[in-house]
Structure 1
Amino acid sequence: MKNILVPLGISQNSVSIHRLQYAIDFAKELGGTVYVVQAFKELARSGSLPSVNETLKDISVTTIEEKIAQVDTKGVDLIALPLEGDLLEAIPDFNLKHSIDLIILGAESDDIKEPYYLGETSGSLVKKTEIPVLIIPENYAFKTISKVLMAIKSGHIKKQNALAPIKEILSTFNAEIKLLQVKTADFLPEDLEFQKDLAALISSYKSSENATLFQGVLEHLNENNPDLLCVFRRNRGFFGKLWEENKVLKKDFESRIPLLVLKGAN
């Protein structure tokens, strides 16, 4: 994961400085570059104000650089990246040219008065982009990843290179991965057949019967005490339904540790 993208200013509650510092610490371990992004809306061009959009771009760069000045860069390459237009469209367009490997987002506040785990823009990015996403809890400080809990319903992973991010994390941190297979009401016998690359990663396996994947995760989090939770956002099933309306309520899903969302289309 050499190119890591961190959008700023997409949530009122997420603390972008802590998230940016986490991204820097994470990138340092992987030898990556961090693109610090802020979108700006281009105004309709006017003959009397030909430089207005350049001014808006410059303001965005200044805002990004002010954020960068507040963190310890630790020798990691940070690139201020103002993106023109809607963030949900600008990031995929940028990805086509620069091959972003990971987006790091912040979860909403852990205050009990805040009902959402992900807000509208963050939830939309997870739902609509093909880029893997790492979601960091508020004020979460980076630490070495030793144990990973991967929660799945089916062992079928058809999307090419879907496992590449978790493979790199396991290799970089010399981590172990425990696979939790949650058998819900629509579980099929063929779901027990694991894709070869997935089977090769697993250090241990356990199955659980629950109404939803989230319930299975909650049941086993304390037992496993992982440093990272990994799931697949499939087109169908619990995680497909979870992001249907973009925003994600805490009552439907929440993670107090970093959550890696991989693309594993059915």
Structure 2
Amino acid sequence: MEKKILVPTNFTKHSWSALIFAMKLFKKFPCTFYLINVYSSRGSLSEAMSIHKEDDEETNASVSEKGLARIMQGLSFRKENQKHRFEQISFDGSLVEGIQEQVNKLGIDMIIVGSPGDTAGINTAENNKISKITEKVKECPVLVIPEKYETAIDPNLEIVFPTNLRKPFKPSELEHLIELAQNTECSIRVLYINTEGKALSTDQEKNKEDLLKQLAKVNTSYHMLTKTSPTTGVHLFIESRESDFLALYQRKQGFFGKIFNKAAIEDIDFDPKLPVLILKEIR
């Protein structure tokens, strides 16, 4: 089955790196990669992706179209997968609006975004372009790739998946986590942060059992940390194990919000230095 992958670009090194990562991640699949550049024809718009003009007379629309054309030309020399196709989209408006419109119209399976520097930049408190995409785009998973991340060649790669086990997951919500694990030959480490040191409730035990059953297609293990905050617990787990990916499920009033809650004094300023898959709640 063909995959439809949306890759936002502002013609920088990190957005190009995200595209190459996407091509490698889906190398076994027929795919259409939609390259989208969002610009504003109405002056500076905070959610539009910045573009560089070579000429003061040049319009933002022209810069956007030329930049996408250059990427397409560069891709014409790459022959890794004959089943990969590429389409370009130049969108006038806000970043979230442009991405959400394509998700709805094209039936996008995943958004893959490159983050500048060595962190994922997903902390919603930072209010940057990456966090706006991960927080506001609905019902489509987002994979964020830090610019300086290099995939390790290791038979023991792993994805950390923290959860509070309070609500069950729909199979469709876990589909892309399983697919990421299969494509990268990763194991999944389900992580429960037991902040209060209490035993799991009956509902949590059932949700745990159902979750592990749904993840049975890939190598999966269950882990628990006690007497620590969600943010610190996830950070320490990743650091101690040198994990390779982090997967977060975005549900209102759920773990995703707590991991970035700075209200607790013991919490650290968490900005992971590894690829992060944001799974979305599907209604």
Give deviations 1:124-154, integer Å, cap 9, x for gaps.
1111112111111123234578422211122
Q: Give matches, 1:180-195, under 5 Å.
A: 180-185=191-196, 189=201, 190-194=203-207
Pick one of 64, 67, 79 that aligns with 2:68. Answer: 64
Answer whether contact 1:214 1:253 (CA < 8 A) is retained. yes
Answer whether contact 2:4 2:107 (CA < 8 A) is retained. yes
Answer whether contact 2:118 2:149 (CA < 8 A) is retained. no
**Partner Cα distance (1:8, 1:87) in 2:** 11
SS at match of 1:28: coil
Q: Give matches, 1:27-66, under 5 Å.
A: 27-42=26-41, 57-66=61-70
Q: Give matches, 1:83-232, under 5 Å.
A: 83-110=91-118, 120-130=128-138, 131-142=140-151, 146-154=157-165, 156-158=167-169, 161-185=172-196, 189=201, 190-194=203-207, 198-200=211-213, 201=215, 203-232=220-249
Answer whether contact 1:25 1:142 (CA < 8 A) is retained. no
Q: Label 1:264 to 1:216 Cα distance change in 2 as closer, same or farther (>3 A).
A: farther
| Residue identity opposite 2:8 in structure 1 | P
How much has 1:159 moved relative to structure 2? Answer: 5.0
Q: Label 1:219 to 1:168 Cα distance change in 2 as closer, same or farther (>3 A).
A: same
How much has 1:197 moved relative to structure 2? Answer: 5.3
How high is the TM-score relative to the length of structure 2? 0.72
How high is the TM-score relative to the length of structure 1? 0.76
Task: State the percentage of identical aligned residues.
Answer: 25
SS at match of 1:94: helix
Which consecutive unaligned segments of at least 5 residues does structure 1 have?
44-54, 245-250
Answer whether contact 2:173 2:282 (CA < 8 A) is retained. no
SS at match of 1:25: helix
SS at match of 1:240: helix
How much has 1:103 moved relative to structure 2? Answer: 1.0
**Partner Cα distance (2:134, 2:159) in 1:** 20
**Partner Cα distance (1:164, 1:243) in 2:** 25
Answer whether contact 2:174 2:279 (CA < 8 A) is retained. yes
